[in-house]
Structure 1
Amino acid sequence: MKKLGFDSFTKKIYIKTTLEKLYWCWGTADGIASWFLRNAEYISDSGSVRVPGEFIQEGDSYTWMWHNWDTAEKGKVMAANGKDSIAWSFAGDCKVEVNMYQKGDAVLLELIQSNIPTDDKNKLDIHYGCSNGWTFWLANLKAYLEHGVLLNETEVDLRNEPLAGYEFVNM
């Protein structure tokens, strides 16, 4: 059995979709904004902005904007094989990997967030916060792909709720 700790976590979910559709949902600005973000922008190594439907590449930088958050997440694409695996820097020096495995009529999606600092602040903000967040967002992705519905809050502005990120399950 794998040892659990505060420096990483793994989330898994089966989604009834194709590998190609699921990779599009993670690997393009249009795809990731369809279920996860308000806006996503990817910039290639050469400095050109990728068009919204274009697949991301290793070395790209990104800027992500969420619904109900004023801050932007910025980072680098660390890997993108165009088929079933993507990795990027996230939440400072953390790494997020998404691996997809075809299993009959479903795809097993595995998300691993690693390199999490283990001081008390990061245990709360990154391990607890991101682990809870990814649990919701993976369920949101499943609802979107299997049933055509989004569960995240886009109509009520939660930015003035001091603990919204910790208390609302659909941020």
Structure 2
Amino acid sequence: MESGLSFDRFVKKIYLNAPLERIYYCWATEAGITSWFLRSAQYTSKEGHKRDASELVEEGDVYRWQWHNWEGEEKGSILGANGKDNLELTFSNSKISLRLAEKKGVVLLTLEQYDIPTDESSKMNIYNGCSNGWTFWLANLKAYLEHGILLNETSFDLTNDPLAGHVFVNI
């Protein structure tokens, strides 16, 4: 990534005190990603069969994700998955690269969202919205992995509040 900020990409990093394999599992399986992030997830192989909940995704898979407190869904594809420390996927009309690296007894997770369109709507909804969203969700992952708690809102139904995603910090 070149120096400076631009609206076509952003990077978020966090240190996690958890085994690298567990962190990867939390991103690359239905059971993992629904434990801390999503209400439901479905992964389908390029051959068309639904992956088991604990089966790692592979390059060419497609996904369907649904969140708590949001009626929409995200559909995309897995662009790369090495089964250990690197995962790439399409997401929200852009792409995400997730890299894990062991550093001094912990794991540095680096999430980069890139190829973001730079029209005004994308600047607000993808760059701003996703950048804020990933800040929370990575903190939620840390809370889950290190302390066994979740910070995201599941007790109150916020689906009918059109501004919920912009004003609540934990959905």
**One-letter amino acid matched to 1:164:** A
**Is 1:136 equivalent to 2:141 in the alignment?**
no
Aligned-residue offset at 1:15: 0.5
| Distance in structure 2 (CA, Å) of the matches to 1:127 and 1:159 | 22
Counterpart mapping for 1:1-171 below 5 A: 2-92=3-93, 94-171=94-171
C-alpha displacement of 1:3: 2.1
The alignment yields a C-alpha RMSD, in angstroms, of: 0.8
Provide the TM-score with structure 1 as the length reference: 0.98
CA distance in 2, matches of 1:112, 1:161: 29
SS of match in other structure, 2:107: strand
SS of the residue corresponding to residue 51 of structure 2 reads coil
Q: Secondary structure at the match of 1:59?
A: coil
Q: Which runs of 5+ in 1 are unaligned?
A: none
Distance 2:154 2:88 in 1: 27
Distance 1:37 1:159 in 2: 14
The TM-score, its normalising length taken from structure 2, stands at 0.98
User: How many residue pairs were aligned?
Assistant: 170
Shift in Å at residue 105 of structure 1? 2.0
For residues 116 and 85 of structure 1, what CA distance do their matches in structure 2 show? Answer: 20
Output the CA distance in 2 between the equivalents of 1:3 and 1:119. 19
- Using the alignment, how far apart are the partners of 2:104 and 2:23 within structure 1? 15
1:5 CA displacement: 0.2
- Distance in 2 (CA, whole Å) between partners of 1:29 and 1:99 is 19
Q: Structure 2 regions of 5+ residues with no counterpart?
A: none
TM-superposed deviation, 1:76:
0.2
Q: Shift of the alpha carbon at 1:133?
A: 0.2
CA distance in 1, matches of 2:103, 2:33: 22
- What does the per-residue CA deviation read over 1:22-61, in whole Å, with 9 as the maximum and x for residues that have no partner? 0000110100000000011000010000000000000000
Partners of 1:50 and 1:66 in 2: CA distance: 19
Q: Secondary structure at the match of 1:124?
A: helix
Q: Which runs of 4+ in 1 moved over 2 A?
A: none
C-alpha distance in structure 2 between counterparts of 1:42 and 1:57, whole Å: 9
After superposition, give the CA deviation of every residue in 1:71-109 in whole Å (9 maximum; x if it has no partner): 1100000000000000100002x0001000001221000
Q: Does the residue aligned with 1:17 lie in a helix, a strand or coil?
A: coil
